[in-house]
Structures are given as structure tokens and as C-alpha cells.
Amino acid sequence: MGGVCSRKRSQLVDEGDSFQTSPRFSKTSSLKWLLLSLPRTNSDVSRKGQGEGPGRCPSLMELCVARVCKDLDKYSSFMMLPRDLSQQIFNKLVESNCLTEASLQTFRECALQDICLGEYPGVKDAWMEVVASQRKSLLSVDISCSEVTDRGIDLLRDCSSMQSLACNYCDQISEHGLGILSGLSNLTSLSFKRSNAVTAEGMRAFPNLINLVNLDLEDLTKLESLNMRYCNYIADSDIKYLTDLTNLKDLQLSCCRITDLGVSYLRGLRKLKVLNLGFNCITDACLVHLKELINLESLNLDSCKIGDEGLQHLKGLVLLQSLELSDTEVGSNGLQHLSGLRNLQSINLSFTLVTDIGMKKISMLSSLKSINLDNRQITDVGLAALTSFTGLTHLDLFGARITDYGANCFRCFKNLQSLEACGGFITDAGVKNIKDLKALTLLNLSQNVNLTDKTLELISGLTALVNLNVSNSRVSNAGLKHLKDLQNLRSLSLDSTRVTANEMKRLQATTLPNLISMRPE
């Protein structure tokens, strides 16, 4: 049967007189009645005037479809029909508004590819049973403006080949229903205009839709949280559609490949409190569009092409509490623009161009509780500029060149809960300045190759420790006895030391039963 491909609804093919099909597709055992009963007037058989317009002669396919639709009550199933023919019959019934819940049953398991019921009256969960019966053949579904609920959406679980789904104005679908879609990883187009389902919880499904190209969330004016991280095919033009989401408070756009143009569309989202633009191709030029987002409390620019000049546009964001500048081109001069951010509690300057001079410029940010300075250009001098931060709880100096002399500064940070100092220059003498930091739950002193068993003895009183790393040091089996009081320890890393795997297992079995992760194993 040479019919029309259902993916091209508008294309009509003239079949001539060679129409053939299976005699088992309906209650009637043959299609002879159809061929014999077709009108055979001169105007019907004439090949003249087959172009567009009222004078065009319909094809045999069109005539067959029209007759089947007229006598629909005579058939119980179209399952044995070629897919393209049953698809055309279905489309014609929808177009003429003649499809009912009863007649829909004739299309059960017909391998239809496209089911467009947008704005069609009466569509509900019962209809979805037939829709879902198409299973892996189903490629496109539109149930916009329907009464379909989560139960109806749940029926689509096995339609794993589906590429396009439109559920606009579907008020009965909740965030649970949206979550069901996470398994439809072949979706490339998804539309949920004015949907109650698109909440922060509901949108957890989106990261699993790895092939999504088109996402339409128009008119979701109540939406407060939107996560589009790792949506690699999002373009700047797509960001334009977010401008109407004026109630957004949390927007995650990291790893989306947007540029300065895309960021420009965000300038009207003045209720934003959290904005993540990390790992995008944006530059200083785009930051001017963030000036009006005065309610921002958290801004992530990780791995963006941001430099000193761009930071001047952030000076008015006085409510900022967290600023992520890791892997940017920010240097010490740019930090002067942040001096007025007195509410800033967390700043990440790892892998930037910041030097010791920059530490003096952030020393006035008295609210800071977390500082990441994983940076080889930071030394004892820079650390000394931070000693006024007595409320500091997290300090990351992983790659900083801190020596025993600089380690004296650790005494000032009595509230530290996590400390990483892995520059390679600290010895047992420097660890003496850590032994009284009783609030520590995480301590990483790896890469300091001159640390010995004495270090384990010095930190034996840090009983709140949950995570301890002294890898790449001279610690040995003999030093393990000093850890017996660290009963809260869950993770212990002593890789590339003189400690053996057998001794670690013995330590876990006899002394530290709560250890979950340990190396060497």
C-alpha cells in the first residue's frame, strides 16, 4: 500500500486505481464495497484540475479516508491497516471534530506516530489508554487544554520513542506528572505553557531529558525556581522566553552555552535571589545587565571569561551573600569593587589571578564565613591579612603556598569547621597551630610530604572530625594508635604513606567501627 507518511500530514499522494489493503481491518471482510461504491462520475475520474483549489480532484486515498470516516460505526478496529492509512483516518476525524471516546477505541494498537488532540473537546485520562497503546511507534503527542491528569501522563511511560509532547494549559497535571516524563529521554520538544506542574520539584525531570532542544514554558508567571543546568542545546534566543517569568527567585543556567546576549534577557528578573551562570561563554560585557538584579543573594560565575573590569557592575548588589569567581580572569585589582558587599558570607577565588595584595582588599568584608583560595599565588602574607575573620567556618588553601610560619594564623580561626592546606610546605610544627580547632569536621593536609606520626598525635584531640586526609606524607602504621578517640570519623585517606591496607582494616575492626571510606583499602 503506497500511502502517505504520517510524519508529513499536509502531503497528499495520488494512489490511482491500485488501492489494496488487508481484508481483516474491520468487521467487514472485504473492501470491495468501498471500491464499488465510490462515485465514478466524469468529474471524479478526470485527471484535470488536480492542483490546489476547489476544482482539484481528490485522490483515491482521500476518498477512502472520507468514506471510512463517514461509516465509522461499522468498524471495531483499524489495527490491521497500514499505519499511514490509519494515521490519515485519525487526522481526518480530529480535523472534522468527529472523534469520540468510543470511536477512538478503533485506533488501539494501530502504531500511530502522531496524536494531535490539542484543544480537542473531551480529552481525558480514558483517552490516554489508547494513546499509550501506540507504545514505541508514538513520536508526537499534543493534549493541550485537556482534562488529562497525572494518571493519564503515567500511561505514557512505555512510549519511549516519543520526541514531542505538548501539555499546555493542562491544569490537572501536577509536578508528579512532570516527574514521570524523566524517563522519556528521547524528547526533543516539550511545551508546558501555563502549567501548575512546572514547580521547582517538577522541574527535577528536565536534567534527564538529555536530547531536549525546544522547551516552552510560556506564561508561567508564578514560577519561582527554574533549573536548566547542562541543557547544552539552549540558545540565547531561548533565554528570551524567560523574560515573562518575573517571579523567578532561583535560576540555574550553568553549562548552557549561552553568551552575553542571552544574559541580557535576564535584566528584568528583579526578584532573582539565586543566579547560576557558571561554565558559559559570557564576558565582562554581560555583567552590566545584572546591575538591576538588586535582590541577588547568590551569584555563580564559575569558569566564565570575567575579569576585573566586569566586577564594577556588581558593586550595587549589596545583598549578595555568596559569590563564585573560580576559574575566571579576576585579579587583585578587581576585588576593590567588592568592598561594599558587607553581607558577603562566601567567596570562591580559586584558580584566579588574585595575589596576596587582593587579600587586603577583601579583609574589610567582615561577614565572610567561607573563603576558597586554592591558588598558588597566595602565601603566608595573604593569609595574615585574613586573621580578622574570627567567624570563619570554611577555609580552603588547597594549593596555596602556606608554610609553618603562615600556619600560625590558623590559631585565629577558632570556629573553623573545614580546613584544607595542601601546598606541601607544612610540617609537624605547623600542625601545632591546628590542634586547638575543636570545631573541625574536615581536615585535609595531604601533599605535605614532611608530616609524620607526630601530626596524628597533635590532632588526636579533634574529636569532631568526620573526614581526615593526610595522604602523600610520612605517616606510618605506628601513628594510627593516635586516632582511637576520633569516633566520629567516617572517611580516612592515607594514600601514598607508610600505612598498609591490613593495618587500616584492623583499625576499622577494632578501634573505628564507624569508618565508611578508608584508603589504602
CA distances from 50 to 9, 17, 41, 56, 140 (A): 18, 16, 15, 4, 31
Query: C-alpha angle 402/429/354, rounded to 5°?
Result: 5
Residues 6 or more apart in contact with residue 132 via CB below 8 angstroms: 138, 155, 156, 157, 158, 159
End-to-end CA distance of the chain: 66
Q: What is the CATH number of the domain that holds 280?
A: 3.80.10.10
117 shares a domain with 107: no
- What is the per-residue pLDDT across 155-185, written as a single tens digit (0 to 9) for each? 999 999 999 999 999 989 988 888 888 889 8
The answer to whether 176 and 150 have CB atoms below 8 angstroms apart is yes
404 shares a domain with 264: no
Residues 6 or more apart in contact with residue 237 via CB below 8 angstroms: none
What is the total count of domains within the chain? 4
The answer to whether 424 and 399 have CB atoms below 8 angstroms apart is no
- What is the per-residue pLDDT across 253-306, written as a single tens digit (0 to 9) for each? 999 889 999 999 999 999 999 999 999 999 999 999 999 999 999 999 999 999
104 shares a domain with 4: yes
- Tell me if 104 is assigned to some domain: yes
Of 413, 419, 431, nearest to 374 by C-alpha is: 419
State which residues form the domain around 505.
369-521
Tell me how far apart the alpha carbons of residues 468 and 462 are, in angstroms, rounded to a whole number: 10
pLDDT at 61: 84
275 shares a domain with 196: no
342 shares a domain with 305: yes
Q: What percent of the chain has pLDDT over 70?
A: 88
The answer to whether 139 and 116 have CB atoms below 8 angstroms apart is no
Choose one of 202, 220, 238: the last residue of a domain.
Answer: 220
- Tell me if 252 is assigned to some domain: yes
499 shares a domain with 376: yes
Maximum separation of any 2 CA atoms in the chain, in Å: 107
138 shares a domain with 53: no
What is the pTM for the complete model shown?
0.72
- Tell me if 100 is assigned to some domain: yes
Choose one of 289, 321, 353: the last residue of a domain.
Answer: 353
- Tell me if 241 is assigned to some domain: yes
- Tell me if 7 is assigned to some domain: yes
- Tell me if 128 is assigned to some domain: yes
316 shares a domain with 402: no
- Tell me if 364 is assigned to some domain: no
Identify the residue whose cell numbers are 585517606: 493
- Grid cell for residue 196: 501548575
- Grid cell for residue 388: 580578622
267 shares a domain with 184: no
- 416-436 burial code (b ≥16 CB/10 A, e <16): bbbbbbbbebbbbebbbbbbe
Choose one of 60, 76, 111: the last residue of a domain.
Answer: 111
Kindly list the averaged pLDDT for each block of 10 residues, start to end, along the chain of length 521. Answer: 38 36 34 37 38 70 88 90 93 94 95 96 96 96 96 95 94 87 90 76 75 77 82 83 89 94 96 98 97 98 98 97 98 96 98 97 94 97 97 98 98 98 97 98 98 98 98 98 97 97 95 93 79
- Tell me if 363 is assigned to some domain: no
Distance of CA 202 to the CA centre of its chain: 12
- Spatial strand order of the sheet with 214-216 comes to 114-116, 140-142, 164-166, 189-191, 214-216
92 shares a domain with 27: yes
515 shares a domain with 403: yes
Question: Taking the CA of residue 300 as centre, how many other CA atoms within 13 Å lie in the half-sphere pointing to its CB?
Answer: 15
384 shares a domain with 451: yes
Tell me how far apart the alpha carbons of residues 470 and 378 are, in angstroms, rounded to a whole number: 21
